[in-house]
Every structure is written in structure tokens, then in C-alpha cells.
Amino acid sequence: MLLLKGKTAVVTGCLRGIGRAALETFAKNGADVFACCQREDERFAEYVLELSGNCGVSITPVYFDLLDEDAVKEGAKFIQKSKKSIDILVNVAGANFDALFHMVTMEQMKRTFAVNLFSQILFAQYITRLMLKGGGSGSVINISSISALDGNPGQLSYASSKAALIAATKTMSSELAPKDIRVNALAPGVIKTAMTDTLPEDIRSRMISKSELKRIGLPGEVAGAILYLELTAALDRRGGFRTCC
């Protein structure tokens, strides 16, 4: 059963990790996808061709650097020119510059917030306008982190930016819900990605110890939660049931 047949999604951070898992999950459930990545990658292009062929969907790579505000705007314009109605936005892409509190530089703070918060808001502004033009309904899912709630030594910049994203999500939700656009955030724990592979072992072990499963999570498990949030948002729009934001 194709749960997202006829829908079009925009997903950032598709080169690897959670973003790539979300791309694959959406494609396998029948959604066309604009797969946003920081840079062009030959292997990714080959992967997209194979995935789209196997799933019978359209997957369009969109390349832009989240640190470049003009590039983010151009990426949104590229999607707009397709004339497709956008149903789903998943903001996955993120950055992490680890350093202990007294060692964190203002440049690290600014870069982290630029990627994890400012660019997410800017891109969401453009994509949700497309949702409104396409019929006034949609779903936005922001990927935060458990660090935003618990905090971790050495992750001041990252945890702060992800906590700010949760606050932004709540405000976006309250403003966009009357326009039939649902906004939610996920706060995954330690997930097996290139980013968590760079964490010091003591920090990773401490985070895993807080998990009831006592193991590292997988990107596909987060992608399943993303799919769940989209499906519950769709049911809510049909009067099925409500979920909290």
C-alpha cells in the first residue's frame, strides 16, 4: 500500500543519514520528492535514478548550501518553477561544531545557528508559501535533537540551536495551523549517522545510556516516525484524530 501516493515532498539533508532514509521511505510510499543536498554528488545522482525507477516516482535533486542565504532562496525558486503542489516539508539538514563551553567561539555559534535555525526558517517560509498557493494545506516536520531537551557536555552550540528550533516549531504551528498547515518537530536520540560518528565516545555512551533500548538508533527508525507524523497530519485534516505539535 502506497501511503503517500500523489503527494510531493521536499526533504533537506538527503545525501546521508536521516535525510536519505526519509527520502527512501517517502519514495517507497509513492511520494515524488525534491531531494535537497548541500552539494552535487555523482553517487547520489546514481542512487536517485535507481530509487526513482524502482519506486515509480519522480525524485529531483536540488543543490544549495544552507550557509548561503541566496543559495537557499534559489533552491526554493527552483522548486517553485516546477509548478508542483507541495504537501510536505522535512527539514533534516544540520551542522554540529562541538566544543566545551569555555572553548566555544562566536563564529562556531553563528555557523551552527545559521544552519540549524536561520536557514530552516528561511526555507520553510518559501516552501509553506508554496503550500498555501497549492491549496492551503500541508505538513512541516523539523528535525531537532534530544540534546535540545537534555543538553550534553561539549554541545552548547548544537543543543542551543536545536532547542531554538523547537521553540520556532511551536510558534510556526500556532500561526500556520489556522491555514491548515501542520508543523511538528522530532527530537531523536543518538542515531547512527556521520555526525554522531564524530562524537567523543564518552559523550555517545552517556547519551545511549539514557535510552531505554540502550543502543544507538537507526536513520530508518527516525524516517518511520517522520512518516507517522505526516500520516497523522493528513488524518487530522480529514477529521480522523489530532496530534500535538
C-alpha cell at 179: 491555514
Strands 32-37, 8-12: parallel, antiparallel or unpaired by DSSP?
Answer: parallel
Q: Which of 47, 63, 126, 158 is catalytic?
A: 158
126 is a catalytic site residue = no
Listing DSSP states for the chain in one string gives --TTTT-EEEEE-TTSHHHHHHHHHHHHTT-EEEEEESS--HHHHHHHHHHHHHHT--EEEEE--TT-HHHHHHHHHHHHHTTPPP-EEEE-------B-GGG--HHHHHHHHIIIIIHHHHHHHHHHHHHHHTTS-EEEEEE--THHHH--TTBHHHHHHHHHHHHHHHHHHHHHGGGTEEEEEE---SBSSHHHHTS-HHHHHHHHHTSSS-S-B-HHHHHHHHHHHHHHHHHHHTTS-----
Asked if residues 15 and 63 have their Cβ atoms less than 8 Å apart, the reply is no
- Give the Cβ contact number of residue 130 at 10 Å: 21
Catalytically annotated residues: 158
